[in-house]
């Protein structure tokens, strides 16, 4: 075979060693020939169906019913992680050489990008009139004093804490006193501020529920308070600040995704904020759920997430060792979020969250 014949042979089969002008044309022709064959489209029907089902689950997540084990809320809680199935299915499609599966994967890719693509960019801006932070300090925190020092060093103007135990309360008060001359603690939640506070009161989020709730002594109810409302006096005017720790969510075989107390708390908190007369509102708290969860519609219809508006990435906050969900939220109304971020880990199983806001 002559050199000319060898070169022509390489061009006809798309040999990568050939860099002549006809190479890319030959590659396109070869791809068209392969794509026009029935084989690649018939391979991998299960992979193609799975890809379509994945895309439809993400696209129609709001239609997934909660009647069976709160499946809809559970799906919305972990929805961002559905994107991990895409590279797995793509690897399977390439291994099977399935053209139909590759094309079907376009649906979940486009839906995921529509839902979360904006979170891949940094939307934060420098500056802000006020910095707020919130942290579930953890009832089992072995170093509350160290946690308090770390939080004080972060320099937020307003700091909300949840899950404060009676034993740890004096430690937080002592360590935060220098940085924050104003503070209030009601039950298991508290707020520390560099600015004056007023009109502080508990918020009834129906933690005690049922016929026996009315028989519970007032002092016991106060000790179990999990939400408060106060006014922070800023240079720009009064700011209503809510601190809340909603009921837990649990996954178990018998009940599925159990969220009864959390959902009841969320509805009550939403009604309280709807009745708030101050147009400027900040909610800081461990909501035990993501803002995508339909259970928080009463809150998210009134308030905006600082992370969604001005964050960089998903801002996952729990568990602290390997965060996979953002259940610690900063939601606002009447102010503009400039930036939103998570702070370094403390002795808690949650990460602190912070945001800068502007009037």
Sequence-distant (6+) residues with CB within 8 A of 87 are: none
CA angle, 243 then 247 then 249, to 5°: 130
Residue 80 has, within 13 A of its CA and on its CB side, a CA count of 18
Q: Which residue has the tokens 């560099």?
A: 194
Q: Which of 95-99, 120-124, 190-194, 215-219 has the highest mean pLDDT?
A: 190-194
What average pLDDT does the chain have? 90
pLDDT of 144 higher than 90 = yes
pLDDT at 3: 52
pLDDT at 202: 97
- pTM of the full predicted structure? 0.86
Nearest Cα to Cα of residue 357 among 335, 331, 333:
335
pLDDT of 352 higher than 50 = yes
pLDDT at 82: 97
pLDDT of 133 higher than 80 = yes
- In this prediction, residue 160 has a pLDDT band, given cuts at 50, 70 and 90, of very high
* Strand residues in the chain grouped as ranges (E): 130-136, 158-162, 182-186, 189-193, 197-202, 227-234, 237-245, 250-252, 256-258, 281-286, 304-305, 328-333, 336-342, 353-358
pLDDT at 27: 63
- The pLDDT of 208-214, averaged and rounded, is 65
Per the omega criterion (within 30 degrees of 0), is the bond before 319 cis? yes
Interval 250-276: pLDDT, tens:
998 877 999 999 999 999 999 999 999
CA–CA distance, 98 with 102 (Å, rounded to integer): 7
CA–CA distance, 314 with 116 (Å, rounded to integer): 9
pLDDT of 42 higher than 90 = no
Interval 193-204: pLDDT, tens:
999 999 999 999
* Strand residues in 16-164 grouped as ranges (E): 130-136, 158-162
pLDDT of 305 higher than 90 = yes
Q: For residue 238, which phi and psi values (nearest 5 degrees)?
A: -70, 140
CA–CA distance, 167 with 293 (Å, rounded to integer): 34
- The pLDDT of 282-292, averaged and rounded, is 98
Residues listed for the chain: 359
pLDDT of 4 higher than 80 = no
Q: For residue 17, what are its two tokens? A: 């060693």
pLDDT of 222 higher than 80 = no
Interval 54-81: pLDDT, tens:
999 999 999 999 999 999 999 999 999 9
């Amino acid at each position: 075979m002559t050199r000319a014949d060898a070169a022509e042979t390489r061009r006809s089969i798309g040999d990568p060693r050939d860099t002549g002008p006809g190479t890319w044309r030959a590659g396109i022709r070869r791809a068209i020939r392969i794509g026009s064959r029935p084989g690649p489209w018939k391979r991998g029907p299960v992979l193609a169906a799975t890809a379509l089902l994945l895309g439809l689950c993400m696209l129609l997540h709001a239609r997934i019913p909660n009647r069976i084990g709160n499946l809809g809320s559970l799906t919305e809680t972990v929805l961002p992680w559905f994107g991990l199935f895409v590279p797995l299915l793509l690897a399977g499609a390439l291994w099977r050489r399935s053209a139909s599966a590759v094309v079907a994967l376009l649906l979940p890719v486009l839906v995921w990008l529509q839902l979360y693509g904006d979170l891949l960019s940094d939307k934060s801006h420098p500056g802000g009139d006020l910095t707020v932070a919130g942290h579930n300090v953890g009832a089992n925190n072995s170093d509350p004093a160290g946690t308090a020092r770390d939080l004080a060093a972060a320099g937020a103007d307003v700091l909300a804490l949840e899950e404060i135990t009676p034993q740890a309360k004096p430690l937080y008060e002592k360590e935060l006193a220098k940085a924050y001359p104003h503070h209030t603690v009601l039950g298991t939640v508290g707020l520390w501020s560099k600015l004056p506070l007023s009109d502080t009161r508990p918020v009834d989020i129906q933690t005690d529920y049922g016929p026996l709730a009315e028989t519970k002594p007032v002092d016991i109810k106060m000790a179990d308070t999990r939400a408060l409302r106060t006014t922070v006096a800023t240079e720009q005017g009064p700011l209503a600040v809510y601190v809340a720790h909603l009921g837990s969510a649990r996954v178990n075989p018998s009940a599925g995704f159990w969220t009864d107390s959390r959902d009841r708390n969320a509805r009550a908190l939403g009604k309280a904020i709807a009745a708030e007369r101050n147009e400027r509102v900040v909610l800081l708290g461990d909501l035990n759920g993501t803002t995508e969860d339909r259970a928080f519609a009463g809150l998210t219809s009134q308030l905006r997430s600082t992370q969604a508006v001005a964050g960089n990435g998903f801002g996952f906050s729990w568990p602290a060792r390997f965060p996979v969900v953002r259940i610690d939220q900063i939601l606002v109304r009447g102010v503009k979020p400039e930036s939103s971020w998570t702070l370094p880990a403390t002795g808690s199983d949650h990460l602190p969250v912070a945001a800068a806001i502007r009037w």
